[in-house]
Amino acid sequence: MSIIIKNCISILDAKWFGINPEATIDNISIDSRSLQNSTHTLFFALVGPNNDAHHYIKDLIENGVKNFVVTHVPPNCEDSANFLIVENTLAALQQFAAYYRSLFEFPIIGLTGSNGKTIVKEWLNFLLSPDYNVIRSPKSYNSQVGVPLSVIAINEKHNLGIFEAGISTVSEMDKLETIIKPTIGVLTNIGSSHDEGFADLEEKIQQKMLLFQDAEVLIYQKSAQIEKHISAKTKAFSWSFKDENANVFVFKKEIASHETTLFYTYKGNSYELKIPFIDKASIENAISCLMVLLYFDYESDAIQSRMEMLFPVEMRLEVKNGINNCTIIDDSYSSDFQSLKIALDVLESQNQFQKKTVILSDIFQSGFPNEQLYAKVAQLIVSNKINRVIGIGTTISEFKDTFSNCITFKTTAEFISNFEKLDFSNESILIKGARSFQFEEIVTLLEEKTHETVLEINLNAISYNLNFFKSKLKPKVKIMVMVKAFGYGNGGLEIAKLLEHHKVDYLGVAFADEGISLKNGGIKLPIMVLNPESTSFSAIIQYGLEPEIYSLKGLHAFLKIAKQKNLSHFPIHIKLDTGMHRLGFEENTVDEMIAILKGNTNVRVQSILSHMATSDDSKYYDFALSQIVLYDKLSSKIMTELEIHPIRHILNTSGISNFPDTQFDMVRLGIGLYGVSNDAEEQKKLENVGTLKSIISQIRTIPAGDSVGYGRRFMADKQTKVATIPIGYADGIARAWGNGVGYVTIKEQKATILGSVCMDMLMVDVTEIDCAEGDEVIIFGENPNVSFIAEKLNTIPYEILTSISQRVKRVFYR
């Protein structure tokens, strides 16, 4: 891409406010953290319900970015950059993408449907890339933001595009259609997902079909409901299991243990096709691919030889713990230029270590001659401050000298035999390779080996939940997030990093040690320590943590040290006891506290807080209100007498939901961030964050009359299939969850726990479940969820979450 900024004025219908209209743009960004932002980046400052990228513009200018699309010019930036002022920056991004798309004429396959879009896209890419330079949407970039970003990556070397479009409500598809302008349409299927956004199925179909309004052909599973909406200029190219009149009639399926043979007629002839899947969804997705190949006039032999190589699509960029304290970012199934850029951004956002290594295979289908391609890759590597590149493949080996610190191997096997010599420690490692290189073997080598139980943390769900609660806050109300007890068991540092990125105002921890480990991990946000022991005051000061002071004794002790160290205005937080009776100044000690603080310059009252005992319980609504009233009274008095304006805060998660009018200046979000609510209705609106998973170690069948486990506490009354799972009470599974009370989920079915939970293992009933040793087991997550388990065990979700032992490995993913 090379566009002169002044030309964007008319493309975007923008107002110009700038210093250099001749500046050239060669890439687009919406991500303020990306190290790929440069002088030639055009940055679109998107505005979300809770996040406004205009806040980052000043920093970006300092880092050399010079061109922005904005709704207004932020203060003090007027003379230092070019601004294109528009009404809506997202609409402008879409307009820009539509303009950019119009510069290219090659065929574009547009995919939509309720399920299977990403899989069909990835498979088509695999099937067609031997013959085309394909540009496709990376991962599942199919939204109002994702589609423009995908399209903007087209360049003059591509000759086929594959883009997916996803919508969740009316009026979205029209916008995506003008950006993608598909010439070939593929409707994968119409299921029931996302129905909320549409009045009914009819409307959903009609909206999805808008993507194909100008297409020359539409591929779909034959149905009259769809055909009503095919426009006159579009040719129908349909398939069916039932209707002989479809262009492709699949009249028989033979399902064997690992493959399916399809028998179909096309243009009067019969054919057979074997595909390596047996489930219904994969079969339908494979037929969508078959249709595209037929439309492109591939011979049946070529179709067979390519389709038998189809593979399951793993779409997640996973962050894993590695050997020797490394962090691994596993993207071991694709290697094109565009997805490399995205993976590098993820590496950067992880930001765990200074030292960064990229293990990279040959890159395919860029369309560029290799010299040019690897020069561009080298440039990316430099801007992302990568210390070392390990190239694997014959082509990247030839271009070794393009990179400054690069070792190469011709094959993955050669890398593996040299593995011991390559020192990997205390660094972040991105593993990025085309499927044929089988980099999963490298991931296995580098991954830290513990037992097979993991707690998977969905970082996107955390962002989602944060935004859910932020949307309940009045303007200007700040947010402190509680990350005590290792982020409620979910992982302290990783979550703190994410929260720092989201610019929350404060973090809260229980003890000084927790705060110190966050500061050592590079967290810069202010951190309040709820329960600082006086022995930790020195460390608190040294690490710049902020203590909660809750008694006269604590106040005297802290002031003494503050004076010795000659501190000036060191921030402290005053905790009031308004009825919880846990920690805090009682009403009758407030006057003395005020007298002590009056005139003191060693410390500054940064905030005044209190904590509610019953914010989640409507039965004690009046009591909760009385706490708020007393808090308001005491904190007002302190403010008046000391003539200060500290941050005031009292609400925790349930408080945010139940007392929206008393947010004061800040709220303290805890359990809600981790996807748990004390309210059943609200629970439905949050996303599940943690999934505790394990595998089946062994399966056996026992006859009626035999028993399972210690104390023979389960007696089989019929022949029973028993699976053993390597997780027990030492991992934090309550013993009370055993003996028929609790269950785990295997293949989406309930498997009841048989007998007592052991220290490191438990046994479940899989008599009715078709499963094998090594299969995945869900201990908790979507089902059963933590709230359900807590209720059955007569406890609260907090206890379930924080009981999961530290020996269970945490894996973070987006």
Ligand X SMILES: *Cc1c(COP(=O)(O)O)cnc(C)c1O
Please identify every residue annotated as catalytic. 484, 710
CA distance 688 to 668: 20
Q: Which CB sits closer to ligand X, 45 or 673?
A: 673
Annotated binding-site residue? 759: yes
Nearest to 587, CA basis, from 632, 646, 528: 632
Separation between Cα atoms, residue 432 and residue 442, nearest integer Å: 10
Min CB(674)–ligand X separation in Å: 8
Measured from the CB atom, is 125 or 653 closer to ligand X?
Answer: 653
240/236 Cα distance (integer angstroms)? 13
Residue facing ligand X at closest CB distance: 670
Cα–Cα dist 727/80, whole Å: 58
In the bound state with ligand X, the residue whose beta carbon lies nearer, of 185 and 675, is 675
CB contact at 8 A, 55 and 45: no
- Nearest distance from C-beta of residue 671 to ligand X, angstroms: 4
Rounded least distance, CB 547 to ligand X, Å: 13
Shortest Å distance, C-beta 675 to ligand X: 12
Q: Hey, what amino acid is at 460?
A: N
Taking the complex as a whole, how short is the minimal distance between the CB of residue 550 and ligand X, in angstroms? 10
Residue 39 and residue 53 in contact, taking contact as beta carbons nearer than 8 Å: no
Quick one: DSSP state of residue 253? Answer: E
- The minimum distance between CB 507 and ligand X, in angstroms, equals 12
Angle of helix 590-597 versus helix 552-564 axis, rounded to 10: 10
Q: Residue type for 638, please? A: I
Quote the least distance from Cβ 649 to ligand X, whole Å: 8
Q: In this complex, which beta carbon is closest to ligand X, that of residue 42 or of residue 669?
A: 669
Rounded Cα distance, 82 and 74, in Å:
12
CA dist 439 and 448 (Å) reads 16
In Å, what is the CA distance from 195 to each residue of 70, 165, 225, 353, 682? Answer: 34, 16, 17, 43, 20
Of 482 and 708, nearer to ligand X (C-beta) is 482
User: How many CB atoms are located within 10 Å of the residue 812 CB?
Assistant: 22
Q: Record the tokens describing residue 678, joined without a space.
A: 């004390």
List b or e across 378-400, with b for residues whose CB sees 16 or more CB atoms inside 10 angstroms.
Answer: bebbeebebebbbbbbeebbebe
Q: Name the site residues for ligand X (rule: CB under 6 A).
A: 482, 530, 611, 652-654, 668-672
Residues sharing a CB contact under 8 Å with residue 759, sequence separation 6 or more, in sequence order: 728, 729, 730
Residue number with CB closer to ligand X (262 or 789): 789
Question: At closest approach, how far in Å is the CB of 693 from ligand X?
Answer: 24
Q: Which two tokens stand for residue 797?
A: 């979700």
Angle at alpha carbon of residue 129, lines to 123 and 135, rounded to 5°: 85
Nearest to ligand X of 491, 672 (CB atom): 672
Helix (H) or strand (E) holding 274: strand 269-275
Instruction: Kindly tell me which of 320 and 611 has the beta carbon lying closer to ligand X.
Output: 611
Q: If we measure between CA atoms, which residue out of 341, 492, 518, 360 comes closest to residue 806? A: 492
Q: What residue type is assigned to position 469 of the chain? A: F
| Strand ranges in 492-532 using DSSP code E only, listed in sequence order | 506-509, 527-529
To 10 degrees, what angle do helices 512-520 and 492-501 make?
60
Residues 6+ apart with CB under 8 A from 166: 112, 117, 140, 142, 143
Binding residues for substrate: 582, 759
Binding residues: 582, 759
